[in-house]
Amino acid sequence: MSDGVRRALVGSPTHPAQVAERELRDRYEWVAPDEADMIVVLGGDGFMLQTLHAMLERRRIVPAFGMNLGTVGFLMNDWRLEGLDERLARAKPFRVSPLSMTATTIDGETHQIPAINEVSLLRETRQTAKLEVTVNDRAVLPELVCDGILVATPAGSTAYNLSANGPILPLGSALLALTPISPFRPRRWRGAILPEKARIAITVLEPEKRPVSAVADQREVRDVAHVEIAIDRMRGLTLMFDPEHALDDRITMEQFIA
């Protein structure tokens, strides 16, 4: 490879991504993901999240440059076959710090899972959830009656968080969004913006009667009793973007879409 950077290529199983992957493999040189210094990802936001989670699990983290062949593609660049070498050389890096979710179930099992976009707690039945919310060991909401609650990173603030009427957080703001989902009591509480160093704990009240699941991006733990959420500063991820489609600019512009 002309610039000495070893690149891997992965594509989602969808037909458009598979066609694009074959075209790119014929045009450029590639190595296996475990040997790469950078990875090119073809698909949508969901497949990008899946690829990033796989890197976290393997503990081999390299920059990722995505090209959108999915639906939304907020974390992706435009798909183009031509000029990939030049695009990668000009790409702007953005560091994303994932959340770490530690969820303890009613049976006492503990699950620790990373989340790049958000951690959400959701009621499992028709019964509303009753939650106690603690920030830095201080009970800020002794009882929140709701459908659920989520904690979103800046990179994830335009996803589920925005759909739940949460705030859009600029990348690099070092903030987290704490957003309720259909709050019933206190009815006027619309959430909070917290510094990323905040330690958030959520205890499920009446967990047997009002069961709650915890979801870290796409991975779910059912029947949780207690969940702790904090930024994982030890495992930062790097996303690469074309300068004209930088993630911070896209997050800013999302605030002006009607």
Residues known to be catalytic: 45
Q: How far is CA 53 from CA 3, 117, 183, 217, 220, in A?
A: 27, 11, 30, 9, 14
Binding site as annotated, residues: 45-46, 117-118, 147, 155, 158-163
Q: Is 225 helix (H, G, I), strand (E, B) or coil?
A: strand
Cα separation, 173 vs 51, in Å, equals 25
Q: Would you list the DSSP string of 150-190?
A: EEE-TTTTTTHHHHTTPPP--TTS-EEEEEEES--BSTT--
Cα separation, 142 vs 225, in Å, equals 15
CA angle (117 as vertex; 64, 155 as ends), nearest 5 = 65
Pairing type for strands 129-135 and 200-205 reads antiparallel
Please, is 41 exposed, middle or buried when counting C-beta atoms within 10 Å of its C-beta (0-12, 13-18, 19+)? buried
- Closest C-alpha to 74, from 13, 116, 119: 116
Cα separation, 165 vs 144, in Å, equals 17
Question: Which residues, 6 or more positions from 23, have their beta carbon under 8 angstroms from its beta carbon?
Answer: 81
Binding site as annotated, residues for NAD(+): 45-46, 117-118, 147, 155, 158-163
Cα separation, 200 vs 187, in Å, equals 21
